[in-house]
Structure 1
């Protein structure tokens, strides 16, 4: 049982780290020297790195909010898991933790879908690694939430 708990905790922490990196990192869209994320658009010229604030479109603000909510819900889910680990009765399931983790996965999925549909970057641009990390974090958090539904507390 200890191995399962450690595995679930590692999966959850990995998901949390991926969500934080994908929300904060400046590589959602890359086009040569230009890289943009949810917060800034940066160019690298002559060894310097110049950033300006990202556009203030409604869809981008929605993506920002959804990604921040996914990080918060994933963090709260981990805190609830630790609390339930010590207070839950024997044989109880981690439903409260699972709900928050599944909500985090839905938030990150919604944010990535909105970004994919609404982004009108240049033709030569490609999605960066932070965007890919957001898509990788979605199934990890969904699987983690489903594991919490199945997981029972044992002595």
Structure 2
């Protein structure tokens, strides 16, 4: 049982790191020498120049959803650690599961909005931060489902 709990905790930490990196990294889309993320558009034409991202409603929605996913994943981690020590024997980690599944839904919605947004610009390619967000989505969903099934045993 200890190995299962340790495995779930490590999976949760990996998901949290993936979400933080995908939210903060500067490579959601790349076009030529220009890289775009949720916050800045940076170009590398001999010197590195960054300007703030456009204030479109879609990019603000992606920013908000990614921040919410990080927050909910962090709260799920705190809830898991709290329930690990305070939950009665035989109890399930429903509270943690709800937070984790909500985090996965937020990541999915953010990635879908960004996909539709970048599809308008045909010369853009997706960057590694975008891929990390899509990798974090199923991991986060699987983690939430594991929390639903997981029972506390003594």
TM-score when normalising by structure 1: 0.97
Gaps of 5+ in 2: none
Hey, what's the Cα distance between the residues in 1 that align with 2:121 and 2:103? 30
Residue 85 of structure 1: aligned partner: 84
1:71 & 1:53 partners in 2: Cα distance?
22
Distance 1:7 1:135 in 2: 21
- 2:50 is aligned to 51
Q: What pairs up with 1:3-152 in 2 under 5 angstroms?
A: 3-46=3-46, 48-119=47-118, 122-152=121-151
Q: Deviations over 1:94-115 (max 9, x none)?
A: 0000000000000000000011
Q: Distance in 2 between matches of 1:65 and 1:71?
A: 10
Runs of 4+ in structure 1 displaced over 3 angstroms? none
- Unaligned runs of 5+ residues in structure 1 are none
Secondary structure of the 1:142 match is helix
In 1, the alpha carbon distance for the partners of 2:122 and 2:144 equals 37
In the superposition, the TM-score normalised over structure 2's length comes to: 0.97
Q: Aligned Cα RMSD in Å?
A: 1.0
Instruction: Give the aligned length.
Output: 154
